Amino acid sequence: MSDRFRIYRHDGEAVFMDLKGREAWALRELLTAGPGGITSLENPAPRLSDYIFKLRKRGIDVATVTESHGGEFAGTHARYVLRTKVERVAHV
């Protein structure tokens, strides 16, 4: 099973892309989150950064916004925001 997405390139051309597994999951999560994006803190996944890397290799523009966080292990984390126009077309 996979998900079919319509990806709009920078020149306006629309292409279809079938994704499965964690890549499809990550793109669905990015779509659901909208402009607020996602983080591994809010969307636990074994390798969220790897799924984003793979989407980028496919030509999907995902911005990385670095955010600070406090707590016992204070530091920074990434928030990923979808910049490419994408529509989920079907579950095939």
Q: What is the pTM of this model?
A: 0.90
3-state DSSP call for residue 59?
coil
Q: What is the pLDDT of residues 15-50, one digit of tens each?
A: 999 999 999 999 999 999 999 999 988 888 889 999
Closest of 21, 11, 76, 65 to residue 47, by C-alpha: 21
